[in-house]
């Protein structure tokens, strides 16, 4: 399929696709309204990327950033761009449709691996779902129930082997929007290869003492298959099939940080962030439900499932500098913590770029 059209025009013609705000291309453009050169000079003596291992000592040595000049927010914009890569390549994907609902997007070259499974996937030559699409992907009409679809697609995913790495044996529900009809369930690791919208819960665990806010941060185990050794929220997890956001958060609180239900049930839902990240055949469309939990001073987290190496209590102002100046955090954590910084008054309207940064936290389609 030809890609001889601007991705910006695609977004306007796809009400069910990716919900770009008019300012999103500006926010994520390389032509930033800020002047990053000053910031780079400021950080010249401190440069550690996510590709290198780091210690908590490195974390606490991160320098202060300028707070009041025009570049103060540029580091936050950089992190948002990391979660919203290659948006201009949307034209390389076709809609994945079930019962006339667009539930995902499949890369044309990945579709070539699916076409041999003719009893599962079919590719009608039809532009019903947009004149710029020559065809779309759907499931064979004989797969008429959620259970049949789940089993058939799972067999295909298994047959594709290492083309879809990191199989977790964890099912995500597949629907056109959150809370809508579930058409089938899909292996979590396969979701980006089918452009399925995935949901998660992320919690900021914080406390206040001596007039200052602190966040509990976790450092992921070096044995983790994804983002080993990087900084993470106190609690976070994907939202699997057949569990509510609140119950999933309580479960993750116990497993990841040893937080008992008597405390975790007081976590407050405070909104959501979203993003679309394109990498090769993958279109990762994630919505993260955000929670805040104010913890007692006496609480000390401890990991129960082996996925977290250690925890540290870090001043919120220091956390903001870590986001701006390093790549220590797992990428999507930056969005959730930046949202926390807005809501708790650590990013103020007087700083240039305030509204653009706020809107960019929801660059994906929150539905």
Domain count, the chain: 2
Which pLDDT band, with edges at 50, 70 and 90, does 70 fall under? low
DSSP state for residue 191 in the 8-state scheme: G
Q: Can you give the pTM of this predicted structure? A: 0.84
| DSSP one-letter string for 285-304 | EEEEEEEEEEPPTT-----S
Could you give the C-alpha distances from 70 to 23, 43, 77, 290, 293, in angstroms and in order?
A: 19, 16, 13, 28, 32
Which pLDDT band, with edges at 50, 70 and 90, does 71 fall under? confident
- On whether both 179 and 96 belong to a single domain, the answer is yes
- On whether both 221 and 233 belong to a single domain, the answer is yes
161 or 6: which carries more pLDDT confidence?
A: 161
Q: Which of 16-25, 32-41, 64-73 is predicted with the least confidence, judged by mean pLDDT?
A: 16-25
Task: Please report the beta strands in 99-179, taking only residues with DSSP state E, as ranges in sequence order.
Answer: 101-107, 121-122, 137-139, 171-174
- On whether both 14 and 94 belong to a single domain, the answer is no
- On whether both 80 and 98 belong to a single domain, the answer is no
What is the CB neighbour count within 10 angstroms for residue 80?
A: 22
Cα Rg, the chain, nearest whole Å: 21
Which pLDDT band, with edges at 50, 70 and 90, does 131 fall under? low
**Distance, C-alpha 290 to centroid of its chain:** 12
- On whether both 221 and 132 belong to a single domain, the answer is no
Q: Which of 363, 316, 353 is nearest to 76 (CA)?
A: 353
For the chain, what is the mean pLDDT? 85
pLDDT tens digits along 272-312: 999 999 999 999 999 999 999 999 999 999 998 888 999 99
- On whether both 123 and 80 belong to a single domain, the answer is no
Q: What is the pLDDT of residue 68?
A: 55
Q: Which of 310, 316, 60 is nearest to 206 (CA)?
A: 316
Q: What is the pLDDT of residue 72?
A: 84
Task: Read off the pLDDT of each residue in 220-249 and give the average, rounded to a whole number.
Answer: 92
Which pLDDT band, with edges at 50, 70 and 90, does 126 fall under? confident
Which of 170, 194, 218 marks a domain boundary? 194
Task: List the structure tokens of 138.
Answer: 């759907």
Task: Read off the pLDDT of each residue in 324-331 and give the average, rounded to a whole number.
Answer: 95
What is the CB neighbour count within 10 angstroms for residue 163?
A: 12
- On whether both 210 and 62 belong to a single domain, the answer is yes
First-last CA distance in the chain: 28
| DSSP one-letter string for 199-253 | EEEEEEEEEEETTEEEEEEEEE-TT-SSSTT-EE-SEEEE--TT--HHHHHHHHH
Q: What is the pLDDT of residue 103?
A: 96
CA angle 201, 314, 301 (to 5 degrees): 60
Residue 101 has pLDDT above 90, yes or no: yes
Q: Which of 116-130, 149-163, 329-343 is predicted with the least confidence, judged by mean pLDDT?
A: 116-130
- On whether both 262 and 362 belong to a single domain, the answer is yes
CA–CA gap between residue 75 and residue 357 (Å, rounded): 11
Could you give the C-alpha distances from 15 to 83, 102, 128, 132, in angstroms and in order?
A: 22, 10, 14, 14
Q: Domain range holding 131?
A: 90-194
Which pLDDT band, with edges at 50, 70 and 90, does 10 fall under? very low
The enclosing domain of 180 has a CATH number of 3.30.750.160
The enclosing domain of 281 has a CATH number of 3.90.79.10
Which of 194, 226, 243 marks a domain boundary? 194
- On whether both 98 and 56 belong to a single domain, the answer is no
- On whether both 151 and 259 belong to a single domain, the answer is no
Q: What is the pLDDT of residue 18?
A: 36
The dihedral built from the CA positions of residue 38, 44, 45 and 49, taken in this order, carries a sign that is positive
- What percentage of the chain's residues is helix, strand, coil (to nearest 5)? 30, 25, 45
Residue 28 has pLDDT above 50, yes or no: no
- On whether both 23 and 113 belong to a single domain, the answer is no
Which of 176, 194, 212 marks a domain boundary? 194
Residue 19 has pLDDT above 80, yes or no: no
Q: Among residues of the chain, what percentage have pLDDT more than 90?
A: 73
| Paired residues of 278 in beta bridges | 283
- On whether both 313 and 185 belong to a single domain, the answer is no
Task: Please report the beta strands in 13-161, taking only residues with DSSP state E, as ranges in sequence order.
Answer: 93-98, 101-107, 121-122, 137-139
Q: What is the pLDDT of residue 122?
A: 97
């Amino acid at each position: 399929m030809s890609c001889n059209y601007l991705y910006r025009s695609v977004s306007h013609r796809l009400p069910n696709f990716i919900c770009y705000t008019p300012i999103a291309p500006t926010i994520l453009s390389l032509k930033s309204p800020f002047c990053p050169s000053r910031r780079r000079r400021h950080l010249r003596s401190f440069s550690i990327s996510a590709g290198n291992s780091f210690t908590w000592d490195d974390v606490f040595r991160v320098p202060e950033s300028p707070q009041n000049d025009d570049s103060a927010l540029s580091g936050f914009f950089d992190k948002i761009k990391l979660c919203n890569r290659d948006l201009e390549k949307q034209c390389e994907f076709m809609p994945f449709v079930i019962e006339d609902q667009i539930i995902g997007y499949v890369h044309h070259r990945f579709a070539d691996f699916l076409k041999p499974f003719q009893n599962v996937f079919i590719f009608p030559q039809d532009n019903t779902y947009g004149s710029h699409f020559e065809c779309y992907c759907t499931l064979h009409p004989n797969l008429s129930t959620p259970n049949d679809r789940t089993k058939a697609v799972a067999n295909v995913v298994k047959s594709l082997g290492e083309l879809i790495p990191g199989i977790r044996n964890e099912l995500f529900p597949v629907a056109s929007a959150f809370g809508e009809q579930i058409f089938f369930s899909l292996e979590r690791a396969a979701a980006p290869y089918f452009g399925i919208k995935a949901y998660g819960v992320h919690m900021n665990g914080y406390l206040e003492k001596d007039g200052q806010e602190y966040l509990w941060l976790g450092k992921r185990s070096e044995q983790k298959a994804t983002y080993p050794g990087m900084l993470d929220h106190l609690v976070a997890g994907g939202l699997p099939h057949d569990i509510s956001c609140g119950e999933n958060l309580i479960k993750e609180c116990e497993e990841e940080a040893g937080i008992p239900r008597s405390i975790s049930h007081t976590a407050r839902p405070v909104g959501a962030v979203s993003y679309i990240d394109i990498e090769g055949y993958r279109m990762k469309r994630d919505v993260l439900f955000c929670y805040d939990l104010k913890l007692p001073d006496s609480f000390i987290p401890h990991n129960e499932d082996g996925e977290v190496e250690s925890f540290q209590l870090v001043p919120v102002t220091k956390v903001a500098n870590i986001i701006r100046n390093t790549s220590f955090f797992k990428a999507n954590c930056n969005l959730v913590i930046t949202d926390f910084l807005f809501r708790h008054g650590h990013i103020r309207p007087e700083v240039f770029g305030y509204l653009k940064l706020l809107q960019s936290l929801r660059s994906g389609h929150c539905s």
